A = this chain, B = another copy of it.
Amino acid sequence: MAQKSKNEIPKERLLDAAEALFAQKGYHAVTVRELTTAAQCNLAAVNYHFGNKKNLYVEVFRSRWVPRAQRLQESFRQYLAGQDPSSLGAVVRALAQAFLEGPLSDEERQRHAQLMTREMSQPTVAFDLVANQVMRPFIKELADRFRPFMPKELPEERLVLNIMSIIFMVIHFNFARAAVSQITGRKYNPPFKARLVEHIVQFSLKGVGMSEKEEYR
């Protein structure tokens, strides 16, 4: 059910439309008229439910983006649990899979990445949510999962830089699809995504200092 978000209550339809439109065009490029038209409700609905356009934007992050980010993280844990033996390669692969092939539809995943990317390069009021409720804890979790595989003397900062490099790569292959397709001449279909996952795993594993073979301990 829920074909085009037509059957829910207006407030929910607004949030759905807002997430899609803000992700697609950015905050300023979206008008309240567009939002209310897309959500099939009245022009006044944004103000009635959220006070103003900006509050709606923040609410999109609070009620849609953050929970989805948590679902993504949960998906990562499930990919990871499904893989044995537990190795660093498994961690990176689970990460790439969750982001590139995980539980989200292609459209949803693209939306998600674009909302995040905008906040990372142009922080707004929603940046705190993104950084403190999602990025920071997730990087911490990844650091904890990486640490057993890393040399004991590796400084915490280098570990964090390694993790950020990997996450950036994943994010970038996700959100810069136009550029990647333009350069490689390939569409983001399942074979190419699987190709990218493998590339990310191989590049990252070696990047942190181990090949696929020597990662086991």
Contacts and interface: CB of A to CB of B under 8 A. Distances in A.
Contacts of A135: 179, 182-183
Nearest to A211: B209
A32 to B, nearest CB: 14
A201 to B, nearest CB: 11
Interface in A163-206: 164-165, 168-169, 171-173, 175-176, 178-180, 182-184, 195-196, 199-200, 203-204, 206
Interface in A42-83: none
Interface string A137-178: 001000000000000000001101110110011011101101
Interface stretch (A6-14, A101-109, A115-123): A115-123
A120 B179 contact: yes
Kindly report how many copies of this chain are found in the complex they form together.
Answer: 2
A178 B127 contact: yes
B168 A173 contact: yes
A136 interface: yes
Interface residues of A, number: 46
Nearest to A29: B28
Contact of A172 (B26, B168, B209): B168
Contacts of A97: none
Contacts of A179: 120, 131, 135
Nearest to A192: B157
Contacts of A161: 184, 196, 199, 203
Contacts of A36: none
B120 A176 contact: yes
A165 B28 CA distance: 31
Interface of A: 25-29, 114, 117, 120-123, 127, 131, 135-136, 139, 157-158, 160-162, 164-165, 168-169, 171-173, 175-176, 178-180, 182-184, 195-196, 199-200, 203-204, 206-209
- Per CB-CB distance, the 5 closest pairs between chain A and chain B, nearest first, are A207-B207, A28-B28, A168-B172, A203-B207, A28-B29
